[in-house]
Structure 1
Amino acid sequence: MLKFETSAVLPCSAAALRQFLGCPANLPEISDPDLELQILSAPETVQAGARIEFRIMSFGLRHRMAHEYRQVTETEIFEVLVDG
């Protein structure tokens, strides 16, 4: 299975980053513009068990995907791909 990992240093606290990422509507703001990320459905704020459905452009094709938030804490969000 293909595995993608990346890292970045951000000039903010973990709590501020968690608050920003806890709102799925913010994700297109930080996504690569070439992906053309479109949120199709998502909770207003992340919570364990919730799903986010979205569409991206990759290799010239549109892909529909879904992730499920599995674990959500005050400083961390863990999600897994469930469709796509």
Structure 2
Amino acid sequence: MTVEMEQETAKELITYKLSNISKLIDSILSKWNQSSIEELLEKAKTGELLEAEMDAISLKQLHADQQRLNKLLNSIEKN
């Protein structure tokens, strides 16, 4: 499906979504007192952080979404 919109509107929507994703990522990292995504994922994987598995899954998806949206934003800004 293709939707046409002004470039500035698209940038604003993507920036807003990126801001929300960043807040969610920070919230999860704070909850587990971790400073990086990689650190939390590794500690959840090894069992060092008990019961962090669901947050690690969410964090991994949020990070993937963040990367995808950053690429999209960069491609819009180049045009």
Task: Decide: shared fold, TM above 0.5.
Answer: no
Say which structure is richer in strand: 1
With the length of structure 1 as denominator, give the TM-score of the two structures.
Answer: 0.28
Q: TM-score, normalised by structure 2?
A: 0.29
More helix by share: 2
Give the number of the structure with larger relative contact order, counting CA–CA contacts within 8 Å between residues 6 or more apart. 2
